[in-house]
Structure 1
Amino acid sequence: MLNGGIHLSMLIGPAVATPAPADVMDALDAVQVTTSSQLGAFQLTFKAGRTSSLIASRVPAGFFDPIITRVILIVTVNGQPNVIMDGVVTRQELSPSNAVGQSTLTITGEDLSRMMDLVEMPFMRYPGMPISARVLLLLAKYAVLGMAPLVIPPLLPDITLPIDKIPTQSGTDLAYVKQLAEQCGFVFYIEPGPAAGSSIAYFGPDIRIPDPQPALTVDMDAASNVETLSFSLDGTAKKITVITVLDPLTGKIPIPVPVPNLSALRPPMGLRPALPAKVEFGDGTGGLSLADAANRALGIVLKANDSITGTGTLDVLRYGRVLRSRMMVGVRGAGIAYDGLYYVNSVTHSLKRGEYKQNFNLSRDGLVANVSGVSP
């Protein structure tokens, strides 16, 4: 679909995704893919005139039917393939137009986590199973989709004796896994790739891959590789959360425990971290056991907010590679206060014929870089 060292490949089909037929690729007009630590989504826009094969045969035959149709998108940049989406169709929209060539067929979908949100499991019980074992058991059902589980156990043991309490699932698999992640301060997401048809289902702390990607360069004439880039510092983002636990001896005396808004697993990126601006009191911790309260506190620490955010747009052909979310990237040319390393929180891929751009969102915890330089 693209040129200039960039090529888009698409696998699509009910049940098993196969290379897209020529008429489908010829009709493809635009692609948009969003990846973040929460959910991946995609949208495909096709030119769909009245005599188009998509309208005449493929849509009536169920080629784009929701849920059963899988879509895999692969972008090759300078010979390096990147699986940017592996998901299922959730919606199709047809927009006929009186103007010649303006009719469109829009296919919208989400990543494979949507398949975990289709069937509710009322009162599913997991006697004597820790959180990590429950997550592994749930994910085993989706191995047929090429999902490989990567499950990190909570930092503190969470095994409950069956005579005391039996963990119970009352919703869909996705809702339950996200509930367990929330309890531990973890995240759950599905990372497509590295090979087409395979993906990694990650359950664990929000650790960003520490290998920085090539730097985003702004305001440096010919060396600039981003089109726009802006930063903001939110002075109210940092806070101290106070949770209340009962003393382990009597189980009656409440003890307030302040939890700092510092991420234990994300190294600081700035020499001048923002100071906490407010104090909040956590709800629902008074009746928790000491281990559960400790996991709740660790969860608050692991999910600390960053005070500095950055947004921008880049042209992939000029940048030379695909910018990936959930990794680190360097910034240069923004000045002493904002240069340095950042986390890439989310990326939106926008592809058209002859054009591949990305919108991105960055964050870190303080001003002034704590490294002497960034990757070229």
Structure 2
Amino acid sequence: MLKGVHLTMMMGPVVPVPVPQVVTDALHEATVEVGEDRTTFQVSFRLGKRSALQTLFLLTGGVPLPLRAVLIATLNGLPTVLVDGLVLNQQVSPGGDGAGSVLTLSGEDLSAAMNLQEFTGLPYPAMTVEAQVAVILAKYAVLGIVPMVIPTPFPDVPLPTERIPLHAGTDLAHLRERARWVGYTFHMLSPAPLVNVAYWGPKLRIGPPQPALNTDMDAYTNVSSLHFGFENRDREQPVLQVQIPNTTRWMPVPLPDVSLLNPPLGLVEPLPSKVTFVSGTGGLTPVQVALYGLANAAGSLDSTTADGTLDVTRYGSILQARSLVGVRGAGLAFDGLYFVSRVGHRIRRGDYTQDFHLVRNGLVSTVPVVMS
């Protein structure tokens, strides 16, 4: 691998272990896509006709549980877990013109284990949304998953005499649907090898930023390419319709798109081009209406985007998704802080590149200086 970069692979049915040398030597390419709600990966190996990999993965294919895979990138002595997930698909592509076959393993993070079995109809009497999430995540402690459940600002405890919440679909589907209802997100975090955190909580766009992305700064440039976009036509103003108690009248309430956990990163925001009335609030309690309103307010449009690629060794760090990063050298309109919405990792022998997608609410930075 590159000087200063080392890739570690671990695989196993339940508890992954470091792979043998024959697997490491056959590695062709590893790609990892980290989004806001899930992480996918794909690892390909050169497969000779007499390769031991054919026997190795044939044996693991007979295990009833999916194969677990962990990819760890170590840059300058600092390990970063790229993905800890399950292999859901194995494919072999025969080679041509004397080239060997390629074995490709594809999968997702450990949240895929929550999507294997349906529990539709399971009751949750007198349980808040947070309690439902905690009960669901408790069964995955065997995989080393630690739940991190952030309570909603307005807890809603349903009376069993009035209604009993029911489970809908798989555990993953229910977790994401409940998160969408209250304006939260659900995804897996891997802060350390074999340590996984199931985060169910608000979308956080706060915290210390990562090293800045520099463009058009001569020797200080650390990105291969960076392109910006600004869309000002599709911004909407959501309006919640609230029924006045003991009447048949409805009162429109405009929803602000600013919260303490999602502060604006741009000063100049596009004006809404249309008003959208949020439906589906009939028969809801005031607490449910408040949660539904916060969820719609959290889904504001990110009008400013940036897409680019970088070389990890030149950048000097591994860019992480779901956090802030600074941009310098792009001019007054596009400099400043952005939220890293998606990051793709591509690792080959002698090459480690990343492509990324950045978003924020408008133009012109809200901070005067971006630290390097």
TM-score over 0.5 (shorter chain): yes
SS in 2 for 1:144: helix
Cα separation, partners in 2 of 1:31 and 1:10, compared to 1, 3 Å: same
How many angstroms does 1:102 deviate by? Answer: 3.9
Comparing 159-168 with 62-71, greater Cα deviation is found at 62-71
Cα separation, partners in 2 of 1:39 and 1:65, compared to 1, 3 Å: farther
SS in 1 for 2:192: coil
Please show how residues 282-301 of structure 1 align to structure 2 within 5 Å.
Answer: 282-301=278-297
Cα separation, partners in 2 of 1:65 and 1:317, compared to 1, 3 Å: farther
How many angstroms does 1:264 deviate by? Answer: 4.6
Are the counterparts in 2 of residues 14 and 70 from structure 1 also a CA contact under 8 Å? yes
Aligned twin of 2:38: 39
How many angstroms does 1:282 deviate by? Answer: 1.4
Are the counterparts in 2 of residues 339 and 368 from structure 1 also a CA contact under 8 Å? yes
Please show how residues 113-262 of structure 1 align to structure 2 within 5 Å.
Answer: 113-192=111-190, 194-248=191-245, 250-262=246-258
Aligned twin of 1:21: 20
Residue identity in the other structure for 1:208: R
Comparing 135-144 with 294-303, greater Cα deviation is found at 294-303
Aligned twin of 2:93: 95
Number of equivalent positions: 372
Deviations 1:183-238 (A, max 9, x none): 1011000112x221111111111013411000000011111000010110110242
Are the counterparts in 1 of residues 268 and 363 from structure 2 also a CA contact under 8 Å? yes
Whether 2:363 is the aligned partner of 1:367: answer: yes
* Structure 2: 5+ residue stretches without partners: none
- Give distance in 1, aligned partners of 2:67 and 2:326: 38
Deviations 1:246-268 (A, max 9, x none): 112x0522122221333552121
SS in 2 for 1:178: helix
Whether 2:295 is the aligned partner of 1:307: answer: no
SS in 2 for 1:358: strand
Cα separation, partners in 2 of 1:12 and 1:89, compared to 1, 3 Å: same
How many angstroms does 1:54 deviate by? Answer: 1.0
Deviations 1:106-136 (A, max 9, x none): 0000000100011111311111111111101
Are the counterparts in 1 of residues 309 and 354 from structure 2 also a CA contact under 8 Å? yes
Question: Which stretches of structure 1, 4 residues or more, deviate above 4 A after TM superposition?
Answer: 63-67
Q: What's the Cα RMSD here?
A: 1.5
- Give distance in 2, aligned partners of 1:325 and 1:304: 19
Are the counterparts in 2 of residues 15 and 70 from structure 1 also a CA contact under 8 Å? yes
Are the counterparts in 2 of residues 209 and 326 from structure 1 also a CA contact under 8 Å? no
How many angstroms does 1:144 deviate by? Answer: 1.3
Residue identity in the other structure for 1:282: V
Cα separation, partners in 2 of 1:353 and 1:71, compared to 1, 3 Å: same
Are the counterparts in 2 of residues 244 and 254 from structure 1 also a CA contact under 8 Å? yes
Are the counterparts in 1 of residues 14 and 143 from structure 2 also a CA contact under 8 Å? no
* Structure 1: 5+ residue stretches without partners: none
TM-score (normalizing by structure 1): 0.96
- Give distance in 2, aligned partners of 1:71 and 1:62: 12
Are the counterparts in 2 of residues 9 and 73 from structure 1 also a CA contact under 8 Å? yes
How many angstroms does 1:369 deviate by? Answer: 1.2
Deviations 1:130-176 (A, max 9, x none): 11111011001111111111111111121111111111103111111
SS in 1 for 2:3: coil
Are the counterparts in 2 of residues 145 and 198 from structure 1 also a CA contact under 8 Å? no
Comparing 11-20 with 65-74, greater Cα deviation is found at 65-74
SS in 1 for 2:297: helix
Are the counterparts in 2 of residues 127 and 166 from structure 1 also a CA contact under 8 Å? yes
SS in 2 for 1:229: strand
Residue identity in the other structure for 1:293: V
Aligned twin of 1:277: 273
Are the counterparts in 1 of residues 123 and 166 from structure 2 also a CA contact under 8 Å? yes
Residue identity in the other structure for 1:360: F
Instruction: Give the share of equivalent positions with the same residue, in percent.
Output: 44
- Give distance in 2, aligned partners of 1:95 and 1:212: 42
